[in-house]
């Protein structure tokens, strides 16, 4: 098992190194409509895709395979299926289905809750009745249901019992992210000291109004130990916020995620995210009807790459690792396969043409 010190040394070294990607220059954007080859895309936060909900206990193996195939068409060759806050029995039913999947792209589970803040805003679209305080016994039961395949856990560090669990998870080789939180800056620092190494969809899953400073967003941006997951769909974060966050963390500490739901790859309409009804509108925004809360996204990772180039002004060579080698390195795996794509620099459009194993 990789120790925390070894992991930090690896990630720190990565800050100074930018991989050279086939067909992508180190300093300049490729010419419009150029052909490029990159490692397979890696998404650490997928609630569902193309009409399939990983948070539905009735989801079948065939549906998991169908969602995987649909994601592969967008270049994703490795992902974590995200199961959000739910009672143990419902979580277990979903986790068992996912754990039995033989899809090579499914690298494990991201457990996003129930160990999160119960407060409005910080809780996001998670139902209050599904939120609970962490205990080692509860997590062991969930990990057992998942066949040991939980690779990443999102917690709010201020929740009673969170820090001892973070320490134990890290000892057991499970990554821990900070998210859906109303933590104080000191509580963020305590979580980092306990072993947290990522921020889940930074800038989301928090109150609408925060103290100007200090607050937990600044604290996470300043923590070099934390990589930041960003949902770059134009709804979760404004372009200027994406640009500022990437500058603060540096590109090597950014991981692009989709937080995709069953609505991703589908037309506007009503969908489910576990037990929560959500609506996808014509602009691509997924939210709980009648509420301001976003509820996952309809984003695909190939579009997130183009959006990030457009929002930040960075060259594609700096952005592609955010969706390939950086999340893979974070998981401790190698990217699977190669993606052959067309890059239209004028439109910041990344179009997958073919995926090779």
- The per-residue pLDDT for range 188-229, each reduced to its tens digit, is 999 999 999 999 999 999 988 899 999 999 999 999 999 999
The pLDDT tens digits for 262-303 are: 999 999 999 999 999 999 999 999 999 988 889 999 999 999
The pLDDT tens digits for 23-50 are: 444 445 555 579 999 999 999 999 999 9
CATH class name, domain 40-332: alpha beta
Cα–Cα distances (Å) from 11 to 169, 183, 184, 318, 342, in that order, read 19, 25, 26, 16, 29
- Three-class secondary structure of residue 350 per DSSP: strand
Cα–Cα distances (Å) from 58 to 145, 278, 285, 325, 349, in that order, read 16, 18, 26, 33, 36
96 pLDDT more than 80: yes
pLDDT value of position 291: 85
Confidence class for position 3, pLDDT limits 50, 70, 90: low
For the chain, give every domain's residue range.
40-332
Mean pLDDT of 228-235: 98
The pLDDT tens digits for 52-87 are: 999 999 999 999 999 999 999 999 999 999 999 999
Tell me if 160 sits within 8 A of 133, measured CB to CB.
Answer: yes
9 pLDDT more than 60: no
Confidence class for position 247, pLDDT limits 50, 70, 90: very high
Phi, psi (rounded to 5 degrees) for 313: 80, 5
Decide: residue 243, CB within 10 A, 0-12 exposed, 13-18 middle, 19+ buried. middle
- Three-class secondary structure of residue 37 per DSSP: strand
| 271 vs 53: CA distance, rounded Å | 9
- CA-based nearest residue to 40, from 7, 10, 79, 66: 79
Q: In angstroms, how far is CA 347 from the centroid of its own chain?
A: 25
The average confidence (pLDDT) of the chain is: 93
* String of DSSP letters for 212-235: SSS-HHHHHHH-TT-EEEEE-SSS
8 pLDDT more than 70: no
133 pLDDT more than 70: yes
């Amino acid at each position: 098992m990789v120790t925390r010190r070894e992991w930090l040394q690896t990630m720190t070294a990565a800050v100074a190194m930018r991989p050279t990607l086939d067909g992508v220059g180190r300093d300049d954007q490729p010419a419009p409509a150029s052909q490029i080859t990159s490692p397979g895309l890696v998404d650490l936060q997928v609630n569902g895709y193309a009409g399939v909900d990983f948070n539905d206990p009735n989801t079948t193996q065939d549906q998991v395979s169908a969602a995987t195939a649909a994601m592969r068409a967008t270049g994703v060759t490795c992902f974590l299926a995200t199961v959000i806050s739910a009672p143990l029995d419902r979580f277990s039913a979903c986790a068992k289905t996912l754990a039995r999947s033989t899809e090579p792209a499914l690298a494990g589970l991201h457990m996003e809750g129930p160990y999160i803040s119960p407060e409005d805003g910080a809780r996001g679209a998670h139902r209050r009745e599904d939120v609970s305080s962490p205990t080692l016994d509860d997590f062991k039961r969930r990990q057992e249901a998942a066949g040991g395949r939980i690779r990443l856990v999102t917690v709010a560090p201020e929740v009673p019992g969170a820090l001892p669990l973070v320490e134990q998870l890290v000892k057991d080789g499970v990554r821990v992210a900070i998210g859906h939180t109303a933590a104080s800056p000191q509580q963020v620092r305590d979580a980092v000291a306990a072993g947290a190494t990522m921020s889940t969809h930074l800038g989301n899953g928090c109150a609408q109004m925060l103290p100007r400073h200090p607050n937990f967003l600044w604290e996470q941006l300043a923590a070099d130990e934390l990589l930041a997951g960003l949902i770059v769909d134009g709804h979760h974060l404004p372009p200027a916020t994406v640009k500022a966050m990437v500058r603060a963390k540096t590109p090597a500490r950014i991981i692009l995620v989709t937080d995709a739901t069953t609505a991703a790859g589908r037309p506007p309409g009503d969908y489910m995210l576990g037990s929560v009804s959500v609506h996808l509108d014509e602009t691509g925004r997924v939210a709980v009807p009648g509420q301001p809360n976003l509820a996952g996204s309809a984003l695909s990772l190939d579009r997130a790459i183009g959006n990030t180039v457009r929002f930040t002004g960075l060259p594609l060579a700096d952005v592609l690792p955010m969706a390939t080698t950086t999340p893979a390195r974070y998981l401790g795996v190698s990217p699977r396969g190669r993606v052959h794509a067309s890059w239209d620099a004028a439109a910041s459009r990344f179009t997958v043409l073919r995926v090779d194993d």
